[in-house]
Amino acid sequence: MSKAAIMGYGTIGSGVLKVLMMNRELIKRSAGDYIDAKYVLDLKDFPGTPAEKLITHNIDDIVNDPEVDIVVETMGGTNPAYPFVKKCIEAGKSVCTSNKELVEKHGQELLELAKTKNVDFLFEASCGGGIPVIRALNCAYVADEIEEISGILNGTTNFILTKMLKEGAAYADVLREAQDMGIAERNPEADVEGHDPCRKIAILSSVAYGKNVNFESIYTEGITGITPYDMEFAKKRGGAIKLIASFREKEGKYYAMVSPFFVSEDNALCAVNGAYNAIYIKGNAVGSTMLYGSGAGMMETASAVVADVVNAARGTGETKRVVWLPETLKIEGIDEDRRSFMVCVQSDKVAQAKEAFGAAESVELSGGVTGLITKEMSEKDFKAASDKVGIVSRIRVK
Ligand code: HSE
């Protein structure tokens, strides 16, 4: 029988205990034996909860207990998660984590350490919540050169953008509503500024390409600069604005970006609404594929963590098969990236803007503003033209 410990009894950690208890018999069938939690490590005591009798405040209780062979890390952040996880792996325990910051910063090192100790370091729940994307990249896509991974990797911002588009609501109002519903954090910065999907695309591309992708090297824009004109324009054109995290390979060079994009109705990402996530993966043999599901939430994320726990208990040797070298993958700058832009200008500047952006189409919006779609141009040329004309706002077109 496997004994597990859960470090961090917040939303995900309590979900993990719940799934372990709720699906105990099923888990026995899948893993070959029962997997019960023996400890819950947290600063608090949680009286009256299922964790009450399992609480410890001392990491060494877990590290020094030979009965515990699998540790779940759902603390978040890197301190003390990183030293605690390291200690557990060094003590010969498998670790399953939902912590994207830990994986993005220390994943490569912890994976190597786990390999040397002959245990697992699994992190399915760090990207896309309940969507099995890491396991898919490590298993189902291994016959392919991955050409692109692009997706909606943040449920909070997708919820906000969906409401803004469908209800014409203002950003600040929808954010407040999302916070009241518990969808957005009280401090929403990591989500709305795009750092959360940036970390996730860095992890996914590190796994897909087998080398380190630093999240600091990825150009990132969040959703806070999106104007009501952008939303009105997107609606009139028949599409949506989505925060997309993307990573592409082209002729041996690598390009990455997190930014709001206009997606037209015929793009499958346009139909991904609310707090859902979707990940488009293009391989050189398989072509275009897409994974879809709940990218966040207690039970959805806990499902992915517990699946890792079951796989660790099965001893499938999954970690040994993951290639993630310490070498860093160089990401190209965005200046030469080419695309069209959806740009809003004061209506008295339409003629000048049409010439500067090579735009044919224009759509009148409210408040004396006009929307234009530019020709395909480089980021650098677009910026130069925007500075010359003076624009109200712009959104990249996917
Ligand atoms: N804040 C994240 C989201 C949680 O909204 O997607 C899951 O990582």
Whether the CB-CB separation of 191 and 184 falls below 8 Å is answered with yes
Give the H/E segment covering residue 250.
strand 239-250
- Overall fold of domain 2-129+299-321: Rossmann fold (3.40.50)
Domain coordinates in residue numbering, the chain:
2-129+299-321, 134-295, 338-397
Confidence at residue 185, expressed as pLDDT on a 0 to 100 scale: 87
How confident is the model over 25-82, as pLDDT tens digits? 999 999 999 999 999 999 999 999 999 999 999 999 999 999 999 999 999 999 999 9
List the catalytic residue out of 3, 93, 100, 200: 200
Confidence at residue 158, expressed as pLDDT on a 0 to 100 scale: 97
Give the span between the Cα atoms of 149 and 128, in whole angstroms: 13
Report pTM.
0.96
Residues 393-398 have a mean pLDDT of 97
What mean pLDDT, rounded, does the chain reach? 96
Ligand 1, from 127, 156, 161: best to mutate by most atoms within 8 Å of Cβ? 156
For the CA of 100, the closest atom of ligand 1 is 8
- Overall fold of domain 134-295: Dihydrodipicolinate Reductase; domain 2 (3.30.360)
Give Cα separations from 191 to 158, 187, 205, 238, 334 (angstroms): 10, 9, 19, 26, 22
C-beta of 188 in contact with ligand 1 (< 6 A): no
C-beta of 283 in contact with ligand 1 (< 6 A): no
C-beta of 295 in contact with ligand 1 (< 6 A): yes
What is the per-residue DSSP string for 20-46?
Answer: HHHTHHHHHHHHSS-EEEEEEE-SS--
pLDDT at 393 over 90: yes
Confidence at residue 361, expressed as pLDDT on a 0 to 100 scale: 82
Residues 187-212 have a mean pLDDT of 97
Q: Report residue 17's pLDDT band, with 50, 70 and 90 as the boundaries.
A: very high
What is the biggest distance separating any 2 CA atoms in the chain, rounded to whole angstroms? 75
Q: Report residue 347's pLDDT band, with 50, 70 and 90 as the boundaries.
A: very high
Confidence at residue 359, expressed as pLDDT on a 0 to 100 scale: 83
For the CA of 127, the closest atom of ligand 1 is 8
Pick from 78-92, 176-190, 216-230, 298-312: least confident: 176-190
pLDDT at 1 over 90: no
CB atoms within 10 A of CB 358: 15
How confident is the model over 351-376, as pLDDT tens digits? 999 999 998 889 999 999 999 999 99
Residues 254-265 have a mean pLDDT of 98
Exposure of 56 in the CB half-sphere (CA atoms within 13 A):
16
Ligand 1, from 162, 196, 199, 223: best to mutate by most atoms within 8 Å of Cβ? 196
Q: Return the DSSP state at 341.
A: E
Superfamily of domain 338-397: YebC, transcriptional regulation domain (3.30.70.980)
- The identity of residue 6, as a single letter, is I
Confidence at residue 96, expressed as pLDDT on a 0 to 100 scale: 98
How confident is the model over 95-127, as pLDDT tens digits? 999 999 999 999 999 999 999 999 999 999 999
Confidence at residue 10, expressed as pLDDT on a 0 to 100 scale: 96
Output the CA 374–ligand 1 centroid distance in Å: 33
pLDDT at 312 over 90: yes
Whether the CB-CB separation of 237 and 264 falls below 8 Å is answered with yes
Encoded tokens for 249: 């390979």
Residues 244-267 have a mean pLDDT of 97
Confidence at residue 193, expressed as pLDDT on a 0 to 100 scale: 98
Give the span between the Cα atoms of 295 and 8, in whole angstroms: 20
Confidence at residue 189, expressed as pLDDT on a 0 to 100 scale: 96
Beta bridge partners of 263: 240
